[in-house]
Structure 1
Amino acid sequence: MSAGQAPGTLARVRRLVTLAVVLTVSALLVPDAAPRPPQVALVQVDRAAGVDPAAGADEVVWILAVGSDARPGEDMLRVRGDALQLVGLHTRTGAATTIGIPRDSYVSIPGYGSDRINAALFYGGPRTMGDAVGELVGIRPDYVMVTRFPLFEDLVDDIGGITVRNPRAFRDSDLKPLGFEAGRIRLDGYGAMAFARIRKELPGGDFDRSANQQIVLRGIRDAIAARSDEPGFIARGVQSVLRNLSTDLPPGELFRLAQTVAQVDPTKITGCVLQGGIGDINGASVVIPDVAAARRYGEDARRDAVISRC
């Protein structure tokens, strides 16, 4: 937590962290009376050590957030990924950064040759997806979080929707026929999903979609911050996630990860979308990512979770 934060913010963080660990332990030790298919999975990529807020000042935790394209009945960990955002969190300063990666980026997938990066989840699951992102950015994530889109919609609805600033008007004949107006707009769960997934009608295609995903993430952050003092609000959110969570992380690790997320300072968040060109591989349109820029983002944010420029 940064030294400049107010006592009220510190109190909210302590309440959130305490609540998170209590609910986490409860969820892991008390069987659910009505088991349901997991809607979000959290996987730790093999590393010598996980998140440790007590470590040195240069400690940054990296989480790869992936939206799964899984249909009902499909394994969400072995289909193509959709939204790809690599998130870095500094355990001491509260800084955070996001690197948006277009899903059609044509990259090397360790052990499987070259393909669109979203195919890495299909080929080898979350760890292979983490390997592919590590190969591109130069930073292998500590954790990979995979989410089904219906849960994402429910969570946005549960926090009362979000407000975002849309840089351009756009529409999609399937997902959003009436489209989104430019400027400040309000989104419910379905609207947030559509805003984050539409690509074909955007002038920048996959690049603009990735930028829209970051806009949605900021909207979610702002909505949660605005309601964090509301009695029972955080409790309902944490319980909802835990009921749908599949993970093999022990309670202590979940607690430390929740603590790191809770310490993010909204004034210390940066983010970039990886740019590139459009190419053709075997008749398929792909994104040729700017690998040099990807490595620059990774190197820039490696130690302090801050990207100085896009």
Structure 2
Amino acid sequence: MATSDPVADARRNGRSRRARRWIWGIVFGLVGVLVAVAVIGVTYIAGLSSSYDKAETLPSAEVFPTDVPRPTPTKNVDAKNILLLGSDSRKGLGGSVEEIRGQRADSMLLVHIPADRSGVQVISFMRDNWVQIPGHGGAKLNAALAFGGTPLLVQTLEEITDVRIDHVAITDFEGFKGLSEALDGVTVNNSVAFKNQGFEFPQGPIDLRGQEALAYVQARYPFKDGDYQRVRNQQAFIKGMLDKLVSRETLTDPGRIAASVDALAPFLAVDEGLDAGTVASLGLSLREVDKSEIIFLTSPTLGTGMVGDQSIVRPDWDGLAALSEALKNDTVPQFAAEYPSR
């Protein structure tokens, strides 16, 4: 008997307009949490903190599981794990995150910041990982959102990794155009030439913004390995965004920095602990991190398979156990060297 896929059912309506807009939410979250607001703590704290405070604050009960045991904080108490999610609709960023389901947030990044602030590791969890969702049995990872919203997704990821998620940032697509314009485009090192939505993307360095950038990160079907190359492209775009943000031309331009944060903040929702003061402090602690020390990787998998009529990604449980230990011990760079992303 075919296994029902609630996320796929939700996607069938309005797929073309909303397809995969979450990636810009991911970019905004990464920018806001790790880079742009770092500048708040360095030079422009008053004005930029005010801009960041335009972000919505969500009660912890609407973000984290409240009635189940959670992993205890690791021995490296200063280490932080921040989950970044995306939403394709401003409706998802109101007083409740119940509407952030299915196609509204179907990708996840776990940002690990080690206790010694020696770098930053960004781990992509593919949405089609076939996992056990508490109370619902086997399903794709992103189905946790359809079943129980952000708290159930946090619970599922915490059970997979056995590490505690400290903060959650949820972001929206609509701020992308203003942010990309504020940065005057993003340069990406494209690994595979392809075409999508009428745009051509040659191999090598390419400049992206607006609809062309969206077509770049959306592309899945031009590639034999589908989602795997799409994730690589998404990571390449985020790298390009970070490179632009930490470039001299951006960091020495107060107007560009202010415009970037202003473009981001209205489309950002964070848990109540991730306020401007917390983010500014985090940014200050990361001020010595070089962009070469920001590592991107994908949680270990064993390729694709089928469950009923669903195409899934098969998790590498041994690899995930090793990732768990790396997160607990602040040894993710060593793990990345031993388990290169597929």
TM interval, short-chain normalised: 0.7 to 0.9
CA distance in structure 2 between the partners assigned to 1:254 and 1:91 by the alignment = 20
More helix, by proportion: 2
CA distance in structure 1 between the partners assigned to 2:40 and 2:179 by the alignment = 17
2:179 is the alignment partner of 1:158 = no
* Contact map agreement 1:42 1:245 (CA 8 A) in 2: no
For residue 235 of structure 1, the aligned residue among 254, 258, 264 is 258
1:189 aligns with 210
2:163 aligns with 139
More strand, by proportion: 1
Q: SS of 1:246's equivalent?
A: strand
1:246 aligns with 269
Pairwise CA distance, 1:201: 1.8
Q: Which runs of 5+ in 2 are unaligned?
A: 1-35, 93-97
CA deviation digits over 1:122-161, x for unaligned, max 9?
A: 2222222222222223333222222223323442332111
Q: Does the C-alpha gap of structure 1 residues 87 and 27 become closer, same or farther in structure 2, counting only changes over 3 Å?
A: closer
CA deviation digits over 1:106-133, x for unaligned, max 9?
A: 1112233221111222222222222222
2:278 aligns with 256
* Contact map agreement 1:161 1:186 (CA 8 A) in 2: yes
1:79 aligns with 102
2:329 aligns with 303
Pairwise CA distance, 1:27: 6.3
CA distance in structure 2 between the partners assigned to 1:22 and 1:72 by the alignment = 24
Q: Which amino acid aligns with 1:134?
A: E
Taking structure 2 as the reference length, the TM-score comes to 0.70
2:31 aligns with none
Q: Does the C-alpha gap of structure 1 residues 91 and 292 become closer, same or farther in structure 2, counting only changes over 3 Å?
A: same
Q: Does the C-alpha gap of structure 1 residues 151 and 191 become closer, same or farther in structure 2, counting only changes over 3 Å?
A: same
Q: Does the C-alpha gap of structure 1 residues 118 and 57 become closer, same or farther in structure 2, counting only changes over 3 Å?
A: closer
Q: Which runs of 5+ in 1 are unaligned?
A: 1-11, 33-37, 49-54
- Equivalent runs, 1:23-172 vs 2, <5 Å: 23-24=48-49, 28=53, 45=64, 59-68=78-87, 70=88, 77-80=100-103, 81-172=105-196
CA distance in structure 1 between the partners assigned to 2:48 and 2:90 by the alignment = 28
CA deviation digits over 1:151-187, x for unaligned, max 9?
A: 2344233211111111101233xxx233311111111
CA distance in structure 2 between the partners assigned to 1:40 and 1:210 by the alignment = 29
Identity rate, percent: 27
Is 153-162 or 74-83 further displaced after alignment? 74-83
The alignment covers a number of residue pairs equal to 281
CA distance in structure 1 between the partners assigned to 2:37 and 2:258 by the alignment = 13
Q: SS of 1:97's equivalent?
A: strand
Taking structure 1 as the reference length, the TM-score comes to 0.77
* Contact map agreement 1:127 1:144 (CA 8 A) in 2: no
* Contact map agreement 2:305 2:314 (CA 8 A) in 1: yes
2:316 aligns with 290
For residue 210 of structure 1, the aligned residue among 215, 231, 240 is 231
Pairwise CA distance, 1:26: 6.9
* Contact map agreement 1:300 1:306 (CA 8 A) in 2: yes
Q: Does the C-alpha gap of structure 1 residues 15 and 98 become closer, same or farther in structure 2, counting only changes over 3 Å?
A: closer
Q: Which amino acid aligns with 2:202?
A: E
Pairwise CA distance, 1:42: 9.6
Report the aligned-residue RMSD.
3.4
Q: Does the C-alpha gap of structure 1 residues 296 and 152 become closer, same or farther in structure 2, counting only changes over 3 Å?
A: farther
Pairwise CA distance, 1:41: 7.2
Pairwise CA distance, 1:13: 8.5
Q: SS of 1:196's equivalent?
A: helix
CA distance in structure 2 between the partners assigned to 1:233 and 1:154 by the alignment = 11
Q: SS of 1:218's equivalent?
A: helix
1:3 aligns with none
* Contact map agreement 1:40 1:145 (CA 8 A) in 2: no
* Contact map agreement 1:60 1:305 (CA 8 A) in 2: no
Q: SS of 1:59's equivalent?
A: coil
